[in-house]
Amino acid sequence: MQPKTSLAPAFMSQPSITAADFGQLPDGQTAQLFTLRNGRGLEVRITNYGGTVTHLLAPDKDGQPGDVVLGFDSLDGYFSPEYQQAGPYFGALIGRFGNRIARGRFELDGQTYELATNNGSNHLHGGLRGFDKVLWQVEVLVDPAPALRLSYISPDGEEGYPGTLTVSVVYMLTPDNGLRISYGATTDKTTIVNLTNHCYFNLSGGARPDVLGHELQLRAARYTVVDDTLVPTGELRPVAGTPFDFTAPHLIGERIAQVPGGYDHNWVLGGNGFRLVATAAEPTTGRTLDVYTDQPGVQCYSGNFLDGSLTGKNGLVYGKHAGFCLETQHFPDSPNQPDFPSTVLRPGELFSSVTEYRFGVKR
Ligand code: BGC
């Protein structure tokens, strides 16, 4: 009989953080790349360019690490003409407003604001130069767990938004293999805010070209119906009896053909406060992902616009559905939908929000 090998010692070590240069931005500034390890098998690499998660290594059912996010080994990858043209936002921080604002326009306290439009006639993910394209200030934190605090001050009027927005995002690796992202923001004028992260996951760690064989469960009984530009109509429709019903686990690919274009929708999450909202599992490697958040919605995007024009880490070609995103958020176009939870932030208030991506295995 073969002796059973213990999984633990292979990757148990001390938590650590290291930093290295990641390359130069076109304006001559240097971006850095930080490697955080929690000593229990989880490793993340994050650059302060866009607060982007470039690598995320998690163990499979045999304890073997695999990189479960899409991205590039060098800064150049994020500046290639193909990447700039496709605009997939791999692993980036998204702000000031994640998702779409119809026609880039909203009214606040009787005043109309015009934002940059960068997705047809709509505003998407903060505009032409969102938080994914700025260089963040960094502070390394080691106590109680390896973490990075990224800070950015978005000037009044940036991309058309009112108010100076002071933003801080802490990425922390928890001892139970979670990547916890804590967002904070304050403003000096009434404004709107909706911060998220845009990691594309493929839990096979490069073994499968797409995520159609991943199981997904979403704790959501309704979703926001959208028009043909992916802007909500205002209707919250029950998922029961539709391909949007993930209240019990289903393969992402099972009913995707019934959804024109694929999944790119906001689910209305049940419950309140910081709670488990989504679980994904990849059967061949046994890797699982549990998503916790205090947000009311999650955009589940099945990488529909990836078309093989980008080649990422380890020479992997990113074709259609190569990864999926679970972008925790307020609902798209909230500033124009009075019945959706509010995204308004006023001076003196603190916007704060926490999302955790926790990795495990299922045998
Ligand atoms: C959006 C997609 C978009 C993708 C990359 C997602 O959050 O919902 O429609 O293509 O981001 O920009």
Higher per-residue confidence, 13 vs 187: 187
The string of pLDDT tens digits covering residues 344-358 is 999 999 999 999 999
The string of pLDDT tens digits covering residues 117-129 is 999 999 999 999 9
Q: What pLDDT does 62 receive?
A: 97
Q: What pLDDT does 321 receive?
A: 98
The catalytic residue among 158, 282, 327, 356 is: 327
Q: What class is the 9-361 domain?
A: mainly beta
Neighbour count for residue 17 (Cβ, 10 Å): 15
Whether 327 is catalytic:
yes
In this structure, the residue with its CA closest to atom 11 of ligand 1 is 88
Extract the tokens encoding 345.
């932030």
Unique residue bearing structure tokens 């469960």: 217
Tell me 324's DSSP state: B
Show the beta-strand stretches assigned E in 68-144.
Answer: 93-94, 100-101, 105-108, 111-114, 123-124, 137-141
Helix (H) / strand (E) containing 215: strand 215-218
DSSP string, 196-212: EE-PPB-TTTTSSS-ST
List residues near ligand 1 (CB under 6 A): 87-89, 230, 264, 299, 301, 305, 327
Q: What pLDDT does 13 receive?
A: 84
Question: Would the pLDDT of 3 be above 80?
Answer: no
The alpha carbon of 88 and the centre of ligand 1 are apart by a number of angstroms equal to 7
| Residue list for the binding site for beta-D-galactose | 99-100, 198-200, 264
Cβ atoms of 188 and 247 within 8 Å: the answer is no
The string of pLDDT tens digits covering residues 22-35 is 999 999 999 999 99
Among 74, 41, 23, which Cα is nearest to 314's? 74
How many Cα atoms sit within 13 Å of 18 on the Cβ side?
7
The string of pLDDT tens digits covering residues 196-241 is 999 999 999 999 999 999 999 999 999 999 999 999 999 999 999 9
Cβ atoms of 88 and 310 within 8 Å: the answer is yes
Question: Would the pLDDT of 9 be above 90?
Answer: no
Q: What pLDDT does 363 receive?
A: 85
**Measured distance CA(53)–CA(93) in Å, rounded:** 9
Q: What pLDDT does 11 receive?
A: 58
Average of per-residue pLDDT across 278-295: 98
Whether 265 is catalytic:
no
Q: Under 8 Å CB-to-CB from 207, ≥6 apart: which residues?
A: 66, 284, 285
Average of per-residue pLDDT across 141-157: 96
Share of the chain above pLDDT 70, in %: 97
In this structure, the residue with its CA closest to atom 4 of ligand 1 is 88
Substitution site in 119, 124, 227 for ligand 1 pocket (most atoms within 8 Å of beta carbon): 124
The string of pLDDT tens digits covering residues 168-182 is 999 999 999 999 999
Domain layout of the chain by residue ranges: 9-361
What does pLDDT average to over the chain? 96
> Could you give the maximum distance between any two Cα atoms of the chain, in Å?
76
**Measured distance CA(33)–CA(95) in Å, rounded:** 21
Question: 70-93 b/e with 16+ CB inside 10 Å = b?
Answer: bbbeebebbbeeebeebebbbbbb
Q: Under 8 Å CB-to-CB from 75, ≥6 apart: which residues?
A: 22, 23, 24, 25, 31, 47, 49
For residue 7, name the pLDDT band (cuts at 50, 70, 90): very low
